[in-house]
């Protein structure tokens, strides 16, 4: 991988991206382009956020940073893609292992030969952005020393990383949105063609849409409401109790994730897939696989942090005026249809609801590729028509 500054790249209707405030920016090659001169470039970087970066909880994150990846032609319209709490900056990946690989890439709905697709690592998560367990190879003693400062001590100008006596602070969906807005501003983005958010990413997308205002052409929300559902609150309460009983160990994290994976699906979907299979290779083996894989790459404190961020999400749909498409799954336990009907009724701008039935429940935004693709394609087409004279 070549290291290269992104300074001096001209973008369609936008100022050039600058690397001044970034720790690193990488260019990754290897994806072909459909037309001569329309090369697809892979940029990634870590943005140092404005200081002080004050959170909704009143705390300050000292030396806070946000990791990102942007893929596509330098002059193409920008699409921001935000996923669930386990998602990361690689919505698409050159090795085919992006979290939204079904939708992102050359020739796909979010076509990286026609659009630039931007994604981030969440604040408070397990990626390269600032988080409680930043760097899986970091020692326990080093992690303990990298604490944040409480709102009271924040008044004295101290920030997280300077006060070793308090846990990592609460991160709100609005905090995430302000960080992404800082990134868009730093990259010189004047207009976002499409903002697509799924699950937790949809919560953050709502906050970001309100901040962007007329800078955003279209918004797509996939299984994401304006407030948490009671079932979701109960689920995450039980997950935290599992982590408490397990001393925040990897076994407890794996079990908490297994519970989430099960609740993201439907009873009929699980029955159809695993009926008649032995326990080891059936539903229990499937759950264990997902739990162990997740606990191997995710930090327990990060899981707590982002779970609480889901719990605290709240926004008035009347603050969002951009044309919006809302994708709903009737069988979704964690985001019930009634909440999304309420969102559509209260939204200030034009808002359509697309309902489907799926045995995949909440995971339909990942599993029902065709239905999701149609929603995204329609939004992209409308956004493009709006740019025509």
Which of 226, 313, 362, 363 is an active site residue? 362
Per CATH, domain 231-310 is 1.10.275.10: no
Cβ atoms of 122 and 93 within 8 Å: the answer is no
Handedness of CA 105, 94, 77, 38 (dihedral sign): negative
Residue 232: predicted pLDDT:
97
Catalytic, 119? Answer no
pLDDT(116) > 90 = yes
| Of the listed ranges 129-138, 171-180, 362-371, the one predicted with least confidence | 129-138
Q: What is the pTM of this model?
A: 0.85
389 pLDDT band (50/70/90 cuts)?
low
Residue 142: predicted pLDDT:
37
Which of 111, 332, 358, 360 is an active site residue? 332
Catalytic, 175? Answer no
pLDDT(89) > 70 = yes
Catalytic, 332? Answer yes
278 pLDDT band (50/70/90 cuts)?
confident
pLDDT(138) > 80 = no
Tell me what the mean pLDDT of segment 97-104 comes to.
Answer: 96
- Per DSSP, the three-state class of 21 is coil
| Helix/strand/coil percent split, the chain, to 5 | 40, 20, 40
Per the model's pLDDT, the better-predicted residue between 162 and 257 turns out to be 257
pLDDT(6) > 60 = no
Which of 119, 126, 199, 358 is an active site residue? 199
What digits encode the pLDDT tens for the residues 199-209? 999 999 999 99
pLDDT(83) > 70 = yes
How far does CA 214 lie from the centroid of its chain? 22
pLDDT(233) > 80 = yes
- Could you state, in order of their start, the residue ranges of all structural domains in the chain? 2-227+315-387, 231-310
Tell me what the mean pLDDT of segment 80-101 comes to.
Answer: 96
- Residue 316's Cβ-side half-sphere holds a number of Cα atoms within 13 Å equal to 3
pLDDT(14) > 80 = no
Residue 318: predicted pLDDT:
97
pLDDT(36) > 50 = no
Computed over every residue of the chain, the mean pLDDT equals: 85
Q: How far apart are CA 26 and CA 67, in angstroms?
A: 12
pLDDT(79) > 70 = yes
Give residues with Cβ within 8 angstroms of 166, minimum separation 6: 147, 148, 149, 150
Tell me what the mean pLDDT of segment 161-188 comes to.
Answer: 85
Residue 16: predicted pLDDT:
34
Per the model's pLDDT, the better-predicted residue between 283 and 279 turns out to be 283
What digits encode the pLDDT tens for the residues 235-246? 999 999 999 999
Q: What are the beta bridge partners of residue 45?
A: 25, 68
Tell me what the mean pLDDT of segment 302-325 comes to.
Answer: 97
Looking only at the bridges linking them, the beta strands covering 2-3 and 53-54 are: unpaired
pLDDT(381) > 50 = yes
Residue 213: predicted pLDDT:
97
Tell me what the mean pLDDT of segment 78-104 comes to.
Answer: 96
276 pLDDT band (50/70/90 cuts)?
confident
Residue 134: predicted pLDDT:
64
Per the model's pLDDT, the better-predicted residue between 141 and 156 turns out to be 156
pLDDT(56) > 50 = yes
Q: What is the CATH number of domain 2-227+315-387?
A: 3.40.50.1820
Per the model's pLDDT, the better-predicted residue between 3 and 204 turns out to be 204
pLDDT(10) > 60 = no
Residue 279: predicted pLDDT:
64
Q: Which residue shows structure tokens 């955003």?
A: 216
pLDDT(81) > 90 = yes
304 pLDDT band (50/70/90 cuts)?
very high
């Amino acid at each position: 991988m070549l290291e290269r500054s992104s300074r001096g790249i001209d973008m369609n209707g936008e100022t050039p991206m600058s690397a001044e405030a970034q720790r690193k920016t990488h260019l990754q090659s290897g994806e072909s382009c459909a037309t001569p001169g329309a090369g697809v470039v892979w940029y990634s970087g870590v943005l140092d956020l404005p200081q002080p970066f004050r959170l909704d909880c009143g705390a300050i994150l000292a030396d806070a940073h946000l990791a990102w990846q942007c893929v596509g032609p330098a002059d193409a319209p920008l699409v921001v893609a935000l996923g669930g709490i386990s998602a990361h900056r690689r919505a698409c990946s050159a090795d085919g292992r992006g979290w939204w690989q079904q939708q992102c890439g050359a020739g796909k709905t979010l076509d990286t030969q026609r659009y630039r697709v931007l994604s981030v690592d969440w604040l408070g998560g397990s990626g390269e952005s600032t988080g409680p367990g930043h760097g899986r190879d970091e020692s326990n003693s080093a992690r303990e020393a990298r604490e944040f400062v409480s709102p009271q001590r924040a008044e004295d100008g101290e920030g997280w990383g300077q006060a070793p006596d308090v846990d990592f602070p609460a991160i709100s969906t609005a905090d995430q949105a302000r960080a992404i807005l800082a990134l868009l501003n730093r990259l010189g983005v004047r207009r976002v063609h499409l903002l697509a958010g799924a699950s937790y990413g949809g919560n953050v997308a709502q906050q970001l849409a309100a901040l962007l205002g007329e800078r955003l052409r279209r918004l797509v929300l996939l299984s994401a409401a304006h407030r948490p559902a009671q079932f979701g609150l109960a689920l995450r309460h039980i997950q935290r109790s599992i982590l408490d009983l397990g001393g925040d160990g990897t076994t407890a994290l794996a079990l908490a994730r297994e519970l989430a994976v099960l609740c993201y699906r439907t009873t009929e979907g699980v029955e159809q897939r695993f009926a008649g299979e032995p326990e080891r290779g059936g539903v229990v083996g499937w759950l264990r696989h997902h739990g162990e894989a997740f606990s191997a790459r995710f930090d327990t404190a990060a899981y707590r942090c982002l779970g609480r961020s889901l719990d605290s999400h709240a926004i008035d749909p009347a603050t969002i005026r951009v044309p919006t498409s809302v994708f709903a799954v009737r069988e979704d336990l964690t985001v019930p249809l009634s909440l999304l009907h309420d969102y559509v009724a209260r939204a200030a701008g034009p808002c359509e609801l697309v309902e489907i039935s799926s045995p995949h429940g909440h995971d339909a935004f990942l599993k029902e590729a065709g239905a999701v693709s149609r929603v995204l394609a329609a939004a992209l087409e409308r956004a493009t028509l709006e740019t025509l004279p």
